[in-house]
């Protein structure tokens, strides 16, 4: 019996009791109103519910008396071994071994689909993350946003959301012209401009640009910069895309900022249209020859200029056009994952959502990722002043980086210890989880060699205390995935996997899948193989949500 089935059983008992007390009305009680939790002390049973406490005021009942009525009804449900009332009205439920153990077969049969749920079904989400300027390599901050953003996408997709991962390419504005001038200076053997970009990567780009346009120095300076900007931009964006692909991060959409400003065949640009649309909403006004958006109506600390008195658009104009464009593409919900230096964008973007006619508390989320550092990490030889994603990946490996960065909340400052991340011991969290997965495969291989297969399944035999604890944790996995998606916190999956790995190791130490010596293969051995393989499947599913591999041998 899984949590969903138990919740349904609880509802079937409670609904008529509530109707009897409320003269034919159950007050619209649903299974979602009947929370189940795993007791910290396993002596209290497999599951606990505070439903009686939660509903007692609604139906006008004494909570402990109501809990006793619920307990009496649950005791007749198949699969429930016992029910006890504790304290002021808590209900502790213990499943019989067969009902609890049946989950092992369910997991094996569902395979990679186990844990998927429909809690986010109907939500159309645009998730934007990383969005680095295409003027240099990805750094350690981008590495964290990449790992977190992709893991958030994975748990949302596993929970039924319709979602697109999007990278916003900041390829318009003054930084692109500075980038081009920096490359031209390197080609010409001149010093880096004071406001330009330095580092060996610029010299490498200069070589590629010059190889592509051998005549570049014959052009006038303005054309040199224009040509260098476009070519170097393409090369650098390609490197960013390759770095992310090696990091196991995929984007569905690469959106160019230039598309917001483009005027095709004399038609207004998306930025032009955005100003007009916000004006139609009644939140745009003119003052001092400039155009403003009254964002203070929606909690911003000041109104924002969208077009300057000289006719030039501000960055806020591009933000507005981009936000509206996401809605035009069918995304009712927009999530932005921004760096630690973007706190000022939170109120600005929420105010923009309000000015666009959306609900700032419902239709947009702005998640701010905090800084991350790694002890002993060296600055990039190519860039000179940053720690590069490529260097980190070569040093620590994709799995260690992705797991460690997804293991903590986005708003938590983070310092990683490379010595721990490179250890092949239980001190290294990713090794600990991956080793547990590899061990399940080793057990399965040894079982096959010893003639133990899954030809029989007798879940009532899974009665050892370590089996009960392991099954209880396996039952929790779908709920963990759904909650991680709801609160945008994939670190909950990582912490769950570590707990599951620990429970599996304890079970391995106490319960044999392979008979001792020449003892015959019995039903319990075949049944335990189901539990072993179910655990491996959940570990594999969870690691996949974090973008981390699940090795079969270590």
CA distances from 82 to 45, 46, 75, 311 (A): 9, 10, 6, 75
Task: Count other C-beta atoms under 10 Å from residue 150's C-beta.
Answer: 25
Domain covering 423-545, topology: Isoleucyl-tRNA Synthetase; Domain 1 (1.10.730)
Mean pLDDT of the chain: 93
- Over residues 46-67, the pLDDT tens digits come to 889 999 998 888 888 899 999 9
Strand partners, 416: 374
Given a contact cutoff of 8 angstroms between Cβ atoms, the answer to whether 152 and 238 are in contact is: no
CA distance linking residue 413 with residue 87, whole number of Å: 40
Question: Which tokens hold the place of 191?
Answer: 């010093």
3-state secondary structure of 117: coil
Structure confidence at residue 25 (pLDDT): 57
Domain covering 124-169+250-369, topology: Rossmann fold (3.40.50)
The answer on pLDDT for 418 being more than 70 is yes
Residue 23 banded pLDDT, cuts 50, 70, 90 = low
Q: Do domains 3-95 and 124-169+250-369 have the same CATH topology?
A: no
Give the mean pLDDT of 114-135.
Answer: 96
Residue 209 banded pLDDT, cuts 50, 70, 90 = very high
Residue 2 banded pLDDT, cuts 50, 70, 90 = confident
Report the phi/psi class of residue 200: left, alpha or beta, with left for phi > 0 and alpha for psi in -120 to 50. Answer: alpha
CA distance linking residue 487 with residue 550, whole number of Å: 25
Helix, strand, coil percentages in the chain from 3-state DSSP, rounded to 5: 55, 10, 35
- Over residues 276-308, the pLDDT tens digits come to 999 999 999 999 999 999 999 998 889 999 999
Considering only the C-alpha atoms of the chain, give the largest distance between any 2 of them, rounded to a whole number of Å. Answer: 93
- Over residues 471-506, the pLDDT tens digits come to 999 999 999 999 999 999 999 999 999 999 999 999
Structure confidence at residue 282 (pLDDT): 92
**Helices then strands (H, E): number in the chain?**
19, 13
Domain ranges of the chain: 3-95, 124-169+250-369, 174-246, 423-545
Q: What is the CB-side half-sphere exposure of residue 292 using CA atoms within 13 A?
A: 13
Crossing angle (nearest 10°) for helices 465-487 and 3-21 = 80
Domain covering 3-95, topology: Gyrase A; domain 2 (3.30.1360)
CA distances from 433 to 428, 437, 447 (A): 9, 6, 21
3-state secondary structure of 437: helix
């Amino acid at each position: 019996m899984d949590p969903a089935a138990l919740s349904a059983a609880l509802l079937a008992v409670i609904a008529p009791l509530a109707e009897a007390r409320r003269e034919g009305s159950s007050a619209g009680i649903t299974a979602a109103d009947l929370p189940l939790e795993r007791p910290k002390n396993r002596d209290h049973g497999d599951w606990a519910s505070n439903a009686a406490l939660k509903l007692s005021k609604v139906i006008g009942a004494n909570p402990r008396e109501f809990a006793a009525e619920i307990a009496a009804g649950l005791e007749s449900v198949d699969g429930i071994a016992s029910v006890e009332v504790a304290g002021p009205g808590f209900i502790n439920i213990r499943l019989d071994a067969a009902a609890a153990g049946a989950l092992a077969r369910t997991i094996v049969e569902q395979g990679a689909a186990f844990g998927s749920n429909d809690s986010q079904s109907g939500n159309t989400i645009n998730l934007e993350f990383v969005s680095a300027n295409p003027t240099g390599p990805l750094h350690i901050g981008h590495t964290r946003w990449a790992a977190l953003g992709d893991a958030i996408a994975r748990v949302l997709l596993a929970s039924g959301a319709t979602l697109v991962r999007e990278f916003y390419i900041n390829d318009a504005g003054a930084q692109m012209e500075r980038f081009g001038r920096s490359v031209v200076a390197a080609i010409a053997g001149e010093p880096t401009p004071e406001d330009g970009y330095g580092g060996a990567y610029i010299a490498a780009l200069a070589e590629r640009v010059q190889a592509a346009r051998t005549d570049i120095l014959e052009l006038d300076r303005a054309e040199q910069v224009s040509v260098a900007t476009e070519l170097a931009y393409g090369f650098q964006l390609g490197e960013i895309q390759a770095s992310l692909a090696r990091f196991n991060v995929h984007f569905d959409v690469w959106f160019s900022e230039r598309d917001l400003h483009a005027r095709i065949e004399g038609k207004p640009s998306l930025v032009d249209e955005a100003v007009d649309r916000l004006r139609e909403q009644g939140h745009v006004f003119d003052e001092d020859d400039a155009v403003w958006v009254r964002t203070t109506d929606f909690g911003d600390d000041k109104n924002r200029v969208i077009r300057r008195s000289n006719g030039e658009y501000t960055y806020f104009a591009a933000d507005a056009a981009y936000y509206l464009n996401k809605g035009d593409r069918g995304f009712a919900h927009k999530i932005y994952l921004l760096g630690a230096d973007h706190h000022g964008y939170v109120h600005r973007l929420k105010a923009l959502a309000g000015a666009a006619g959306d609900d700032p508390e419902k239709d947009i989320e702005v998640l701010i990722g905090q800084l991350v550092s790694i002890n002993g990490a060296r600055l990039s030889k190519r860039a000179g002043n940053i720690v590069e994603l490529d260097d980190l990946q070569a040093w620590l490996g994709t799995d260690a980086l992705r797991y460690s960065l997804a293991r903590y909340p986005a708003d938590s400052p983070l310092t990683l210890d490379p010595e721990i991340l490179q250890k092949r011991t239980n001190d290294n969290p990713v090794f600990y989880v991956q080793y547990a997965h590899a061990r399940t495969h080793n057990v399965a291989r040894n079982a096959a060699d010893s003639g133990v297969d899954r030809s029989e399944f007798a879940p009532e035999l899974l009665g050892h205390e370590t089996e009960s604890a392991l099954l209880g944790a396996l039952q929790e996995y779908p709920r963990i995935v759904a909650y991680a998606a709801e609160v945008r916190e994939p670190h909950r999956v990582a912490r769950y996997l570590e707990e599951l790995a620990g429970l599996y190791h304890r079970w391995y130490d106490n319960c044999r899948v392979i008979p001792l010596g020449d003892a015959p293969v019995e039903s319990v051995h075949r049944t335990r193989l189901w539990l072993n393989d179910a655990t491996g499947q959940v570990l594999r599913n969870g690691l996949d949500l974090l973008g981390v591999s699940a090795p079969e041998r270590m």
